[in-house]
Chain A
Amino acid sequence: MASAVMNMTTAALDWVSVAFDAPLARAVVFGVHIDGHLVVEVLLVAVILFQLTRKSYKHPKKPLTEKEIDDLCEEWVPEPLHPSISEDMKAEPPTLESAAGPHTIIDGKEVVNFASANYLGLIGNEKIIDSCVSSLEKYGVGSCGPRGFYGTIDVHLDCEERIAKFMGTPDSILYSYGISTIFSVIPAFCKKGDIIVADEGVHWGVQNGLHLSRSTVVYFKHNDMKSLENTLEKLTRGNKQAEKMRRYIVVEAVYQNSGQIAPLDELVQLKEKYHFRVILDESHSFGVLGNSGRGLAEYYGVPVEKIDIITAGMGNALATDGGFCTGSVRVVDHQRLSSSGYVFSASLPPYLASAAISAVNYLEDNPSVLSSLRSNIALLWKGLSDVPGLTIASHPLSPIVFLKLKKSTGSSKGDLELLSNIADRMLKEDSVFIVSTKRSVLDKCRLPVGLRLFVSAGHSESDIHKVSGSLRRVAATTLAEHL
């Protein structure tokens, strides 16, 4: 048996060596000797190539059939458009029945009004009302078009020139609504890839602008210049790319959420050291701070050219509506084509623009109104210094006097309930109208809530004594259990 196998293997081997010695296997192709092993190698390479070109096995994808899509659509149940209405959602604000001046009528009774940001007492001013009346008779109410399409009325251009002259800047641009000013300006200058450093206490309009700009936003601790310096240092140290990106610092002059005032002199030093541009929102400081009301720059003695972009809403000290933005010519011109709130929206009603011009004229002619405002704020501070359970948390010069609870209940909802209680009782029992902070669900600000009093130059001493007395009394009784 073994020998038969041996014979067969020898025969096979002989046959193979004959095949290799065959003249075909010894062919010379293009001058290359073809040995037998080359045939095996060529076959091997061919097999490898064949395998490589085959597609790997994938689980076959089956798209959904029409019936399956129908079933999915049937099963899907959407959430309702609004959450269920709770009790605190049903609260209605008080309705005014006359102008919102220092004294107003609510529910037929006259109350002392500390809820309107009427800082210079211009509501009800004769000159302003006269200019509005002549404007209404000439132009009607609305401007019926955006600025690019015959919505530019000569009073708009006059107003822009007047404001630029007053502020000492080359040019300014008008917006038709206070809150849309800041959230149109920020996306016009800050695009994807830019760096913005903002205060954590900025109001919703600024937050919305920051969100729409799609830039990288870094927040620093509220009104803390040390924290700002650390943030700026961290962002620019060793970062070569930072020099090519546009960099901005966004702050408010007087913060709506806390009544603090931004220290502009330190800010300008930091800005120049790290090469950032500053966007300053002066809604509550225009017409209030500074010897002639020109805002934060005048108050700190900083030349206004050092601030790149100043925006302000005119719905406060100037007692009209709308907003403006001023800066260098480049800054203002850029907005005329790329600011969405300016290009895609109807322009400011002309009578409000005339009211703004008259208000600025009034402010320039009567700077004494600023000293009455300042003395009113000081008087109110004195009166509120010993209110039980509440402390004043705003800057001594801020026209928004912000009071917060000495001891918090632990949640901002609980705090808000207590404070709204105090405000309601003051209105009902003492006919004094003050307000608590209102926060939307979309607001990212985490600063403590409090009571806000808006002081006006039109308030008399007796008004201020009345509000301090009433607050003392109501706070003592409402917070008695809580203290």
Chain B
Amino acid sequence: MSTVASTAPRRAWSFRQPSVIPGFGLTLGFTLTYFSLIILIPLIALAVRSAGLGPEGFWKAATDARVLGSLRVSFVTALIAAGVNVVFGTLIAWVLVRYRFPGRRIFDAIIDLPFALPTAVAGIALTAIYAPNGTVGSLFAPLGWRIAYTPAGIVIAMIFIGLPFVVRTIQPILEEVSHEVEEASATLGANRFQTIIHVIFPSLMPAILTGFALAFARAVGEYGSIIFIAGNIPFVSEIAPLLIYIRLQEFNYVGATVIATVMLLISFALLLAINLIQAWSRRRYGYGN
């Protein structure tokens, strides 16, 4: 008995990390409750509802050709859009941080507009511009390229709504990249290009991954702006959220929750993967401690 008592204070693990800030129990309790009410319970309800079909019925509904087609359209376009946003978002963040030019503040403020604009307005505006008779669309029409009413249109809409996420995650990190590190690189003989590739870019990598994840998540979930520009042709330009909506209108609630659950699972897997890569790169690049 006495040996047990003497080892009792050394527990194998504990929730409680010694910390100078009190209130760990309270904040954790609040966080979990809040998280459950707002996020977990609705998601579980979704899963339970779709599970009502049984494994076989679920599989059948999930692998329906039209469902698979819409999932492919959604995820492929979202990945392409997030990839494009990462490239140009990084460039825009670079220009905003590194150069001083007239109108920079206004330009900086405009970046956030896609956050604020009702998505339907964005969709209608983009459709008007990229339609074959629109300002930009008419330039491409003679080449035989159609943008609106094709998956290309979906990508454009997704780029539009996802851009601020990338710019706003990279901008603050870029501002903090120490000038001295760049100078060190220059004194060691590296030219501008080598400095960017070998010194600056790697230190932005975690932020770029975060930006990619956010832009991707936003694009997958987007509905309002895309349905105007997509054309919504099944198997070609019909996105999964739209198909969910169609199922609901057919009063096929279970069919709708099945698609939603599959979307959720794929998104979760992708975001988890991105998060893991990011955690690894942060550790590797010496952040977070």
A interacts with B: no
